[in-house]
């Protein structure tokens, strides 16, 4: 198989571009222009990930060809052949989805915030279900996760959680999850077994490279320390090691309680704050642009994006793309890729149409 037909499968072109970038890095004075060098380094990282996937695709196709030859010779390889075809389809699908992730920070690691809506225990339990869903999704993709802040609910569930997700395209994928998620089910907390509707909000933002300068004045910060509430071990529970930082001009609040020392929690909280402020500035810029162009943004934080219905029928439906599935248990266990892909395809199509009409 040759991946030289152009477009997303042009492996040789990507390898040539990567070689040119490596040559640029070796030139004197490359690091004298931080902004330009940052963009080139980001491109190098993205190319490296795309090339690795392309090579895996080639290897899997070669294995498939070998199995086809064995099948023609009468060898009993039907099971292996089906498995190889399924694996190759998944790999091609992965390449196609990543081709849609072309935003400035789509390749970056991500922070994700989950907040329970109004409704007490019901909403808090739903927020914890979403937390579990995203942790399972990240595990399926071999991403590394770290729970940086967790506010337990009263009796069950969680009020909020902040998670760092590390892996290629983590933010690109998780940006598809921004918004309000709605659950309909027979409440396990209702003695009369009535049907309840619960809401929780999800917000994702990219981890910002240290070379991007975000000015934060000390006078604009209120820093509070408190005792961690999570099950973080004996030391965490007896010291005021958790840190909460409020950015007064924007009212953005971040917190971290995962680390054992107050100093490390403060450092991580500042990293989260820098990322939130950067995302905040990008959002203001985009809103200003959309106001000028008379266009509505694809997603607005706070809008309902997906419904998960467990009663009286079972269905998960993305309200933006229309994609739906009856396999609710699989979705809640982290099988989010079909839903994410459907949204990314819909968003890409909408942007193309908007560009054509303008």
Domains and CATH numbers, the chain: 7-100 (1.20.58.410), 110-357 (3.30.70.1660)
Residue-wise pLDDT for 221-246, tens only, equals 999 998 776 544 443 444 678 999 99
CB-count exposure of residue 192 (10 Å: 0-12, 13-18, 19+)? exposed
Give this prediction's pTM: 0.71
Nearest to 221 by CA among 197, 251, 192, 242: 251
Residue-wise pLDDT for 111-134, tens only, equals 999 999 988 899 999 999 999 999
Cis peptide before 247 (omega within 30 of 0): no
CB atoms within 10 A of CB 86: 10
**Is the per-residue pLDDT at 5 higher than 60?**
no
Output the furthest CA–CA distance in the chain (Å, rounded). Answer: 76
Q: How many Å separate Cα 177 from the centre of its chain?
A: 7
Which region among 84-88, 292-296, 330-334 has the lowest average model confidence (pLDDT)? 292-296
Q: What is the pLDDT of residue 230?
A: 54
Query: Which residues touch 356 (CB under 8 Å, ≥6 apart)?
Result: none
């Amino acid at each position: 198989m040759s991946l030289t037909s152009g477009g997303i499968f042009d492996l040789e072109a990507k390898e040539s571009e990567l070689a040119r970038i490596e040559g640029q890095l070796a030139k004197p004075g490359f690091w004298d222009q931080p902004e330009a060098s940052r963009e080139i380094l980001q491109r190098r990282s993205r190319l490296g990930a795309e090339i690795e996937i392309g090579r895996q695709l080639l290897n899997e196709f070669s294995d498939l060809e070998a199995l086809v030859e064995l099948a023609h010779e009468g060898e009993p390889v039907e099971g292996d052949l089906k498995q190889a075809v399924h694996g190759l389809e998944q790999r091609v699908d992965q390449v196609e989805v990543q081709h849609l992730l072309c935003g400035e920070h789509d390749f970056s690691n991500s922070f994700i915030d989950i907040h329970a809506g109004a409704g007490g225990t019901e909403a808090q339990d739903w927020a914890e279900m979403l937390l579990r869903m995203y942790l399972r999704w990240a595990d399926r993709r071999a991403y590394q996760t770290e729970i940086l802040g967790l506010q337990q609910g009263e009796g069950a569930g969680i009020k909020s959680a902040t998670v760092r997700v590390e892996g290629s395209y983590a933010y690109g994928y998780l940006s598809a999850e921004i918004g309000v998620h709605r659950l309909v089910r027979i409440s396990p907390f209702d003695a009369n077994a009535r049907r309840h509707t619960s809401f929780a909000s999800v917000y994702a933002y990219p981890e910002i490279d240290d070379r991007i300068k975000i000015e934060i004045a000390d006078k604009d910060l209120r820093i509070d320390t408190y005792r961690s509430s999570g099950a973080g071990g004996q030391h965490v529970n007896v010291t005021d090691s958790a840190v909460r930082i409020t950015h007064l001009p924007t009212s953005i609040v971040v917190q971290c309680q995962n680390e054992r020392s107050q100093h490390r929690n403060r450092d991580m909280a500042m990293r989260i704050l820098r990322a939130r402020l950067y995302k905040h500035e990008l959002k203001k810029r985009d809103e200003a642009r959309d106001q000028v162009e008379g266009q509505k943004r694809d997603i607005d934080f706070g809008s309902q994006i997906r419904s998960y219905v467990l009663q009286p029928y079972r269905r998960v439906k993305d309200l933006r793309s229309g994609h739906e599935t009856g396999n609710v248990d699989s979705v809640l266990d982290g099988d989010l890729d079909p839903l994410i892909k459907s949204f990314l395809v819909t968003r890409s199509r909408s942007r193309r149409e908007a560009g054509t009409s303008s």
